[in-house]
Chains A and B, each alone.
Chain A
Amino acid sequence: MVNSQQNNRLASGGLLVDREHPITFSFAGKDFIGFAGDSIASALAANDQWLISRSFKYHRARAVLTMAGQDANTLVQLPSDPNVLADRTEISQGMRVDGQNYSGSLENDLGRHIEKVGRFMPVGFYYKAFYKPAGVWEKWAPLIRKKAGLGEIDEQFEPEYYDKAYAFYDIVVVGAGPAGMSAAIQAAEQGAKVLLVDENPVLGGSLSYDRLDAKGEVAPALRAGMIADIEASDNIDVMLEAICNGYFADNWLPVIQAKRLLKVRAKEMIMAVGALEQQAVFHNNDLPGVMMSSAVLRLIKLYGVRPGKRAVVLTGNEQGYSAALEMLDAGIEVVAIAELRDSPPISELMQAVSDRGVEIYQNHAVYAAQPSSDKKHLAQVELRAQLGRGACANSGELISCDLLCMAVGYTPTYQLVCQAGGQLSYDDESAVFTLKGLPKAAQIVGSVNGNWSTDAVCGDGYRAAVLACNRLAQQSKTITEISEPAPIADDSAASPNYSWPIFPHPKGKEFVDYDEDLQIADIVNATRDGYEHVQLVKRYSTCGMGPSQGRHSALATARIVAQATGKSVAQTGVTTARPPFAPERLGHLAGRSFYPARYTSMHQRHVEAGAQMLQAGAWYRPAYYGASDQRDACINAEVNNVRENVGLVDVSTLGGIELRGPDAAEMLNRIYTFGFLKQPVGRARYALMTNEAGVVIDDGVSCRFHDQLFYVTATTGGVDRVYQSMLKWNAQWCLDVDIANVTSAWCAVNIAGPKARDVLAKVCTDVDLDSEAFPYMGVREGHVAGIEARLIRVGFVGELGYEIHVPQHCGEALWDALMQAGSEQGIKPFGIEAQRVLRLEKGHIIIGQDTDAMSTPQEVQMGWAVSAKKPFFVGHRVIKELNEIGQYRALVGFVVDDLSAPIPLESHLVIEGEKMTGRVTSCNFSPTLGKPVGMVYVPPHKAEPGSEIEIRSSGGVMVTAKVVELPFYDPQTERQAL
């Protein structure tokens, strides 16, 4: 029952298929049955369904070409996956497969009629036709894109789990054909840890399907022996159905298998990536039924599928005869061999074919192929005698057939090799690309290295493995060194490349690039339009830009461009190959990315108190406490509570750096702008940091707890940079100071407000909190609620306040103790939004918000924080010079009196006439002042208090603001000194 539907399934054979397990799936709405292990394409072929897709531009019928995923002909749609390669995707029970790029149905694509106007759509048609008048492209583009589109994405998709991992090997071998297997076996033998990667489901590469001798016995035996060796080795990890999708510096290889991206580091890399078979270029060479000889072999040997019933072989090498023998053995009628070469030496394979009565037409080409009446399959080919390079006799012989097998040569799979730095060159004599110039720990072996005969291919793998192992042996305990083998003899005589399998036809349709429906004339015309360089040809004609990325068009394109421009193919070259080699899923790139998050030790308390958390850098911080629809009211209440009572804010994210040692003060003195040598123990000083260009880059407070111990705070986002910068400077200065980043060791709160002291006094009894004894900018060590603490009297929010720093693990205990102690005074937590408003009212800048990459201390009114008497600090000289020049802008405060005006936002511009003369850096409604206040950069002539400026606010509304003296709140600084 089941088999009866698979009319093209051969009675036996098929390395990959399991005939015991039939699988039902559908294609374009029809049900089909294949076997487990079948690809979509092989299962369809078994059922005589050849048409798989419609071409990109002309909607021509397309079918199996390479059976190796190297063409776009087999792109199909799965329900949640567009652009799936039907020849590389295994069928599964119930799988629903559809064609792509057609209107109506695949079998009856309404879009196919576009071909009739094809001659009016030359290369560059879209550029030329829709370029003028301006704006017309925007109207056409959606229609054209719809016509040209490929698959459809599934907008209902469910996210899936993809991840990444690292792996390390002595030697990574990419490609498990005879060369790669030889290399892996030898490397393992010498003790190397080897990863062998192959994109196929089985080991063997071409040995799995190719026929090396007339009887077809050599390849299977060789393959079986090597697989046995690999399986017996403990040193070889094999990854099948895995693709090495790029080459990055120092042998860093992304290997994708299923839902994992493996980032592999190889001490040595051996690329045994093989070669890609190329099509002959002739009229209608894209018809279903026209395929590569390797595709014919794969269908028969890997899947047990008959590629056709009546075949013609076009060949310029031995492989055409291998395929012919394989077809004959499979019961396919081989009616003729068009041998491109003129009287080649008779080989064993050729003789065997001849002995079986197949007529060989020497020095003949397939000049054209003709379709069946429904245009969906090959019906006949026209053989003509060759008269010269690409030229044929005026008439020939028509032979009916449903299969044309092309065997005209290969290009090395150069993509990975070129990414590694390999240079591609072309030997016009042998018509072969060669690769040279790899990095020192990478090698190419096998056909990609120009070796074709089995002995040369295997010997090449062996040789490379020995070289790699011998290099590694110098630094390895497990790898042994052996004597170096002799170089491989030149194998170019075995090259399968026929020099010029390109036959122009007056009606065109000799496809160079199937993906983009590009014909000989398109390539030639691109050069005539002035795009002579192969890179320009690519971009103008789109040749090689389709899904198969030039895998079967690069060689033909290079040849045609070379001929059209009068250069050699070597001079013409091919376009750059960049990673990825094959399409990769966004899931592989997105999967398992890490987004670090940091939490303070009081985090749980914020959550419990109903905080809206926001992420600032990696840190989670409370923005404000309360419902998000009450945001502004919450923030205003928090501000008011600090001004009137007392508030508590988590400032654990502040950076903390300890400088210890005889030169601790000297170090600070060089790093920060102020003077620190005479800073008394028990006192804090504002610390402003500039870079060598005199630009403000960080600030904090320096606290001296001991003659040789300073605890310096830094901004949340800046501390790592500040710490590293201190270390870098001291790597040069060699001062006797030890610098430690202790940010995470301490957590901290700021308790601020007129009642802060009353609250603190309840839980801190070993420090005299009296303002005389512990004044503003004093620092003390003591205990808060029994916890050892560093207390710093600071005034960032402009009220009486204490920063209390305690060991990280005591955060919750400190928070709880202060909240409890302050309940009587109405203590409430406040978030960073309220803190921003409070500091703005007090006119304190935030580095990075109110400063930019050009801000000097003078500009931001911090001249007072710069010591004029020090011999040196970082930025000193430039600040000195700049002060002599004078400033071109100033950061000033402003208020907006018109309460109906839209409140200016950060980065809104100051406009004077036609000019932009400044920008807002901070602006908020001030609950304390009852109007918007902010800071803004203005030119010097607007910096005087009382100046009026025009700010272009939201919606383009011009808002008048008045420059005022900073701070907005408590100008006499009485409140923080309470």
Chain B
Amino acid sequence: MSEFITATADSVLRRSQLYHLQQSEGAQFAKYQDAVVVKQFSSNDSQQVKSLGVADLSTLPRSGFKGKHTPQWLEQQGVTIPEQPNCATKQNDGALVARLSEQEHLILSDLAMAGSLAQILEQSWSIEPDYMCYSLPRRDSHAWLYLSGEHVRAMLAKVCGIDLSAVEFANGQIAQTSIARINGILIRDDLNDDTAGFHLLCDSSSVIFVWQSLLDAMAEFDGKPVGLAALLEN
């Protein structure tokens, strides 16, 4: 597991599009490998994660691959790919591999960055003539949020027109849909047996709008932004 290193973020570090906003929201930042993350928003983060919280994971590693040879290439790299599109599978190193279509896959690092599948795949990939597996710059194109807690479904019902109830939307299921009128990828990945959780990936240029829309929808349930540290406790 990576260590949080207390740091004042400067422009050479990988920062989230939400950085300036989070500064004004009282975030405590830390350096975490090559990136700046919000370590903590308040001392209540741990409780918040269980009731309703949103964490910004945008600076954590992730990668994507697309093209007709992609499933074959990923399997060669030892990745277990989900059998069906719109399903996600946990890898041995903790990474989550989400199959977005027959050919397109998204790899999300585990939150502790204990493993490094997303980075390893990106590094071992190169463009080969006539071999159709192409890297997608997912760490830049998409922002990554994690929503969790008892009220997460009721809150998402205010911004997303898909039935996310536990019965209809199983753990590991993916919905690519409109969230607050922004196209996004929603992946159910419960924090643990007691706490429901969803990854939300959206266009990075839209994340400020999405963040504000979510906080507005969360207010009714006393939902708050949380830091990464509280998620790692679970």
Interface residue ranges, A against B (CB under 8 Å): 163-168, 263, 265, 477-478, 592, 594-601, 604, 618-619, 652, 658, 660-662, 706-709, 736, 738, 740, 742-746, 786, 807-809, 812-813, 816
B contact residues around A604 at 8 Å (CB): 20
Determine the residue in chain A with the shortest Cβ distance to B67: A738
Q: How far is the CA of A168 from the CA of B160 in the complex (A)?
A: 12
In the assembled complex, the CB of B198 is this many whole angstroms from the nearest CB of chain A, namely: 15
Asked whether, in the complex, the Cβ of B180 is within 8 Å of the Cβ of A736, the reply is no
User: With contacts A604-B20, A808-B140 known, is A163 near B158, CB below 8 A?
Assistant: yes
Chain A residues positioned under 8 Å from B141 (CB to CB)? 742-745, 808
Q: Would A598 and B209 count as touching, CB distance under 8 A? A: yes
Q: Which of B97-143 contact A (CB under 8 A)?
A: 127, 129-130, 132, 134, 136-142
Given the known A-B contacts A165-B157, A813-B11, are A744 and B213 also in contact in the complex, defined by CB atoms under 8 Å?
A: no
**B84 in the interface (beta carbon within 8 A):** no
Q: Is the CB of B15 within 8 A of A809?
A: yes
- How far, in Å, is B85 (CB) from chain A's closest CB? 16
Could you tell me if A598 and B11 are in contact, using CB atoms closer than 8 angstroms? no
CB-based contact A813/B67 at 8 Å: no
Determine how close the nearest CB of chain B comes to the CB of A347; give it in whole angstroms.
Answer: 49
Residues of chain A contacted by B2 (CB below 8 angstroms): none
Are A708 and B129 in touch, CB under 8 angstroms?
yes
B160 touches A807 (CB 8 A): no
A865 to B161, CA, bound (A): 44
Q: Number of B interface residues at 8 Å Cβ cutoff, please give it.
A: 45
Looking at the assembled complex, report how far the CB atom of B33 sits from the nearest CB atom of chain A, in whole angstroms: 14
Selected contact of A601 from candidates B17, B137, B154, CB within 8 Å: B17
For residue B182, CB closer than 8 A to chain A, the reply is yes
- Residues of B that sit less than 8 Å from A by CB: 11-12, 14-15, 17, 20, 59, 66-68, 127, 129-130, 132, 134, 136-142, 154, 157-163, 165, 167-168, 180-182, 203-206, 208-209, 213, 216-217
Query: Smallest distance from the beta carbon of B177 to chain A beta carbons, Å?
Result: 11
Pick the residue among A168, A599, A707, A807 that contacts B163 (CB under 8 A). Answer: A168
Report yes or no: A661 in contact with B180, Cβ–Cβ below 8 A: no
> Which residues in A have their C-beta under 8 angstroms from that of B208?
597, 599
Chain B: minimal CB distance from A184 (Å): 19
Assembled-state Cα–Cα distance A941/B120 (Å): 65
State the main secondary structure of chain A at its contact with B.
mixed
**Neighbour of B203 across the interface among A265, A598, A662, A816, CB < 8 A:** A598
Q: Which residues of A contact B160 (CB under 8 A)?
A: 166
Which residues of the partner chain A approach B158 to less than 8 Å between Cβ atoms? 163-166, 592
Give A385 to B40 CA distance when docked, in angstroms. Answer: 85
Beta-carbon contact of A660 and B206 below 8 Å:
no
Q: How far is the CB of A707 from chain B (nearest CB, A)?
A: 7
Beyond the given A163-B158, A598-B203, A598-B209, could you list 18 further A-B residue pairs with CB under 8 A, ordered by the A residue number? A165-B154, A165-B158, A166-B157, A166-B158, A166-B160, A167-B157, A596-B181, A604-B20, A662-B129, A662-B130, A736-B132, A743-B141, A744-B141, A744-B205, A744-B206, A745-B204, A809-B15, A813-B11
Q: Are B17 and A599 in contact (CB under 8 A)?
A: yes
Decide yes or no: A599 and B205 within 8 Å by CB, A166-B161, A265-B163, A738-B67 being known contacts: yes
Contact present for A619 and B12 (CB under 8 Å) = no
Q: List 12 A-B contacts (CB under 8 A).
A: A165-B157, A594-B159, A594-B181, A595-B181, A618-B206, A658-B134, A706-B127, A736-B132, A740-B66, A746-B140, A807-B140, A808-B204
Contact B157 A813 (CB under 8 A): no
B-side contacts of A619, CB under 8 Å: 205
| Residue in B closest to A806 when the chains form the complex, CB atoms | B140
- Rounded to whole angstroms, the CA-CA distance of A786 and B140 in the bound complex is 17
Q: How far is the CB of B147 from chain A (nearest CB, A)?
A: 15
- The 8 A-B pairs at the shortest CB distance, nearest first, are namely A745-B141, A745-B137, A168-B163, A808-B140, A598-B205, A594-B181, A745-B140, A813-B11
Residues of A within 8 A of B66 (CB): 738, 740
Knowing A596-B209, A740-B136 are in contact, say whether A812-B157 is a contact too (CB < 8 A).
Answer: no
Report the bound CA distance from A477 to B167 in whole Å. Answer: 9
Which single residue of chain A is at the shortest CB-CB distance from B212? A597
Chain A: minimal CB distance from B8 (Å)? 15
**Which of A263, A477, A658 has most B Cβ within 10 Å?**
A658
Cross-chain contact A661 with B67 (CB below 8 angstroms): yes
Q: Is A594 a contact partner of B180 (Cβ separation < 8 A)?
A: yes
Given A599-B17, A813-B12, verify A742-B137 contact (CB < 8 Å): yes
